[in-house]
Amino acid sequence: MTGMPTPQCRSKIVAVLGRNWHKDLSAAGRQADMIELRLDLVEEVDPIRALQAVRESCPARPIIATARIRSEGGGYAGSEEERIRLLLRAEPYSDYLDIELFAPGSGELLSRASSPVIVSYHDFQGMPDQEEMAEIFSAMKRAGAAIAKIAVTPESLQDNLRILQFLLAAETPLCMIAMGILGRHLRAVAPIYGSALTYGYITDCTAPGQMSLQELCLARELLKK
């Protein structure tokens, strides 16, 4: 058929850097649209020094600084007060801070942050119903999210459809991620339906069902055709 519209993908591919950040930095700078440094996974050096190195190596790439709490799948082992200080120290070297909506220190971080904020929510066990998901999204918007990020674990193909429908209805920037094997393909497909970001690893997978940076780049090229 002629005259059919071609899906337009404006989503940004984010390379996630963690324990092997130094080794993975070159690939992230070449292939990704944005870079996330997981401060909670950086070992052996001060995470801020690692962030500075990422900024110096990839000056043209927007950088997200994240210190994920353990209750939302992260590795940060310090106190919430220490985590707040770490993220505020990261501001001069990053373009976005990722702040969990339900973290104990989220209110203080949101009030003190001057950088644009990605307000995030992660459910590794399942998926909220549509009403609860709408409430979470509304709370993120009220918190001043530049981008809202909702990562859930679908338990059926119908759940995947709910994710895509939720994306289509969103009127402000929203990243939706389907974690786990059942929703893995949405890592590549959700951007077509409006997901603002999609995250890929280089060496170490950092979330269930995550695709690699190389796979996401290939999928984007294939879906353009």
Q: Give pLDDT, residue 45.
A: 95
Q: What is the mean pLDDT of each run of 10 residues along the chain (225 residues)?
A: 43 96 96 97 96 97 97 94 97 98 96 96 96 98 97 98 97 96 96 97 94 96 81
Q: Give pLDDT, residue 224.
A: 80
Domains of the chain, by residue range, sit at 12-224
CATH no. for 12-224: 3.20.20.70
Furthest C-alpha separation in the chain: 59
DSSP 44-105: SS-HHHHHHHHHHH-TTS-EEEE--BGGGT--B-S-HHHHHHHHHHHGGG-SEEEEETTSTT
Within the chain, strands assigned E span: 12-17, 34-38, 63-66, 96-100, 117-122, 147-152, 174-178, 197-201, 211-212
How far apart CA 199 and CA 35 sit, in angstroms, is 9
Q: Give pLDDT, residue 98.
A: 98
Q: Give pLDDT, residue 54.
A: 98
Q: Give pLDDT, residue 215.
A: 97
Output DSSP code: residue 190. Answer: G
Q: Give pLDDT, residue 9.
A: 52
Residues annotated as part of the active site: 122, 149
